């Protein structure tokens, strides 16, 4: 086997994040939103779905995104530091809004205030806690999450109805957003979708009536990545795409309307021949029935390439399909390259695990999971390369 790129062999596998494609996906969603009059926020929780919240956030900010969602205060403070807006001259430029989905928990109040983070309040207890730290004469920015059927976070119906009769609880707050979350948006035919939409519409109407005359009404938000493709009835005032921004398919029953963002490649570190009857990997789960040519890749489940793909997944060598054989181990994957031309099998040759030939959703199906998990599991051992944003202004 020819050594063509020894440096690549010594390096880890590489994740390439195409920021131009990310921005294109954001702009495609903005175009969808324009027709219904909605704005577009960006979900950058879980370190930007595993792709780097700082780099992703900066690219989206440059593209015009002004509202971001994170899971917790730690994520929010890191993002705030990364997205500080540079001011040129005397013009006043507002900082982007960063909302914290987990809300206001004991001990987080000071950090929420210090980093200008907006908590998404999920209970009456959180509402009261956030209200208590409001400085005299100041109404703190906030969002409210109402539960319409997910039964995970958000005010329960009884809590919401109580809030409507105890509006003084909101006396120290400015509620900028009323939101809920769809549980089955990726199943277009699910009856849960219109049920949740109707309940959210009712909650939003009731909330607007109770707070009428107190300034600008709260914006409404229901649609996540899949929800925004359910139609304009689900758009309301603010869309909250996440997975689809990063190239995942928000419409599993149809072709993916989004551009791929992630490419994962691993180098070949060894090529060997095996005879009929030879087994491969831990537990000898694969046995060759004819003479085969195998290649070993420098990647494994320690990198987030899931062990559950063992014996099921496929990769591509210079566009040629190669199945995974045997068990995926911590640091290595073995593939069958018998059908790959020898000229592509040099030491350090890049092998595509995720990319144009094998989209993230297909790789996730091989692993028996969803693309969301695959993205956020991308390990820290990968070297990462970000394609520059072109024409983002």
Separation of alpha carbons 121 and 104, rounded Å: 7
Q: Which two tokens stand for residue 163?
A: 């809030």
Query: What's the pLDDT tens digit per position in 139-178?
Result: 999 999 999 999 999 999 999 999 999 999 999 999 999 9
Please give the backbone phi and psi of residue 174, each rounded to the nearest 5 degrees, phi first.
-110, 110
Give the span between the Cα atoms of 298 and 153, in whole angstroms.
40
| 310 and 362 co-located in one domain | yes
Torsion over CA of 272, 274, 278 and 283, rounded to 10 degrees?
A: 20
Burial of 175 from C-beta contacts in 10 A (0-12 / 13-18 / 19+) = buried
**Residue 381: burial class (beta carbons within 10 Å; 0-12, 13-18, 19+):** middle
- Establish how many alpha carbons lie within 13 A of residue 44's alpha carbon, considering only the half-sphere containing its beta carbon: 33
Token pair in block for residue 272:
């060997």
Are 194 and 50 contained in the same domain?
A: yes
pLDDT given at position 349: 95
Distance of CA 260 to the CA centre of its chain: 13
193 and 49 belong to one structural domain: yes
Is 254 a member of any domain? no
Q: Count other C-beta atoms under 10 Å from residue 272's C-beta.
A: 13
Looking at the structure, do residues 176 and 294 belong to the same domain, yes or no?
A: no
Would you state the structure tokens that stand for residue 385, as one six-digit string? 């390369």
**Residue 361 belongs to domain spanning:** 6-14+260-387
Q: Provide the pLDDT for residue 392.
A: 43
Predicted pLDDT at 57: 97
Partners of 384 in the beta sheet?
A: 15
Catalytic (active site) residue 386 = no
Give SS3 for 169.
helix
> How high is the pLDDT of residue 84?
83
Q: How far apart are the first and last CA of the chain?
A: 47
* Residue 211 pLDDT: 80
Choose, from 26, 246, 282, 386, the residue flagged as catalytic: 282
Cα 115 to Cα 269: distance, rounded to the nearest angstrom: 46
Beta-bridge mates of residue 268: 297
Query: Would you state the pLDDT for residue 2?
Result: 45
User: For residue 116, which of 161, 176, 40, 59 has the smallest C-alpha distance?
Assistant: 176
Check residue 216 and report its DSSP letter. Answer: S
**Residue 255 resides in a domain:** no
Cβ 98 vs Cβ 116: under 8 Å: yes
Determine, yes or no, domain membership for 52.
Answer: yes
Among 103, 97, 54, 101, smallest CA distance to 78 is for 54
Residues 76, 77, 79, CA angle at the centre, nearest 5°? 65
How many domains is the chain built from?
Answer: 2
Q: Is there a single domain that holds both residue 109 and residue 188?
A: yes
Are residues 10 and 26 both part of a single domain? Answer: no
Given the residues 26, 45, 372, 382, select the one marked as catalytic.
45
Residue 148 sits in a domain of what CATH number?
3.20.20.10
How does pLDDT run across 206-236, given as a tens digit for each residue?
999 888 767 678 999 999 999 999 999 999 9
Domain end, chosen from 215, 246, 277, is at 246
| 45 tagged catalytic | yes
Of 66, 68, 62, give the one whose Cα is nearest residue 391: 62
* pLDDT for residue 393: 42
**Is 253 among the domain residues?**
no
Q: Is residue 128 part of a domain?
A: yes
Residue 392, in any domain of the structure: no
Q: Decide if 132 is inside a domain.
A: yes
Do 236 and 281 lie in one domain? The reply is no
pLDDT at 217: 86
Locate 303 and state its tokens: 């990198």
Of 246, 279, 314, the last residue of a domain is 246
Long-range contacts of 109-115 (CB under 8 A, 24+ apart): 109/133, 111/73, 111/77, 112/73, 112/76, 114/77, 115/73, 115/76, 115/77, 115/80, 115/81
pTM metric for this prediction: 0.91
Same domain, 338 and 271: yes
Residue after which a domain boundary falls, among 187, 220, 246: 246
Write down the pLDDT at residue 54: 96
Task: List Cα–Cα distances, 347 to 2, 5, 270, 351, 357, in angstroms.
Answer: 6, 7, 7, 11, 22
Please report, in tens digits, the pLDDT of each residue of the chain (393 residues total): 444 555 555 567 999 999 999 999 999 999 989 888 999 999 999 999 999 999 999 999 999 999 999 999 999 999 999 998 755 455 556 899 999 999 999 999 999 999 999 999 999 999 999 999 999 989 999 999 999 999 999 999 999 999 999 999 999 999 999 999 999 999 999 999 999 999 999 999 999 988 876 767 899 999 999 999 999 999 999 999 999 999 999 999 899 999 999 999 999 999 999 999 999 999 999 999 999 999 999 999 999 999 999 999 999 999 999 999 999 999 999 999 999 999 999 999 999 999 999 999 999 999 999 999 999 998 888 889 998 765 444
């Amino acid at each position: 086997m020819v050594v063509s790129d020894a440096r690549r062999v010594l390096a880890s596998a590489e994740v390439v994040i195409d920021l131009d494609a990310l921005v294109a996906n954001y702009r495609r969603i903005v175009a969808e939103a324009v027709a219904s009059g909605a704005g577009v926020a960006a979900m950058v929780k879980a370190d930007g779905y595993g792709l780097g919240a700082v780099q992703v956030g900066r690219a989206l900010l440059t593209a015009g995104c002004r509202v971001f969602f994170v899971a917790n205060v730690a994520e929010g403070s890191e993002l705030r530091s990364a997205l500080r807006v540079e001011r040129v001259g005397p013009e006043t430029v507002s900082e982007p809004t960063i909302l914290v989905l987990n809300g206001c928990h004991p001990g987080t109040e000071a950090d929420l205030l210090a980093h200008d983070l907006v908590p998404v309040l999920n209970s009456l207890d959180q509402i009261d806690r956030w209200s208590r730290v409001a400085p005299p004469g100041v109404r703190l920015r906030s969002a409210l999450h109402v539960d319409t059927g997910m039964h995970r976070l958000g005010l329960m119906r009884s809590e919401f109805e109580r809030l409507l009769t105890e509006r003084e609880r909101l006396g120290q707050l400015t509620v900028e957003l009323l939101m809920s979350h769809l549980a089955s948006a990726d199943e277009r035919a699910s009856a849960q979708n219109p049920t949740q939409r109707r309940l959210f519409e009712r909650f939003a109407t009731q909330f607007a009536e109770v707070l009428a005359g107190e300034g600008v009404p709260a914006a409404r938000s229901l649609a996540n990545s899949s929800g925004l493709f359910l139609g304009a009835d689900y758009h309301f005032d603010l869309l909250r795409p996440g997975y689809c921004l990063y190239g995942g398919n928000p419409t599993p029953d149809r072709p993916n309307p989004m551009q791929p963002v992630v490419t994962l490649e691993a180098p070949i570190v060894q090529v060997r021949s095996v005879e009929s009857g030879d087994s491969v990997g831990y537990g000898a789960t694969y046995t060759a029935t004819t003479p085969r040519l195998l290649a070993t890749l420098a990647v494994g489940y320690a990198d987030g390439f899931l062990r559950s793909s063992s014996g099921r997944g496929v990769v591509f060598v210079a566009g040629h399909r190669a199945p995974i054989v045997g068990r995926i181990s911590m640091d290595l994957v073995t593939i069958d390259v018998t059908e790959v031309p020898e000229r592509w099998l040099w030491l350090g040759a890049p092998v595509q695990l995720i990319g144009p030939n094998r989209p993230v959703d297909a790789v996730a199906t091989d692993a028996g999971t969803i693309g969301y998990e695959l993205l956020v599991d991308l390990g820290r051992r990968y070297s990462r390369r970000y394609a520059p944003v072109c024409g983002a202004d």
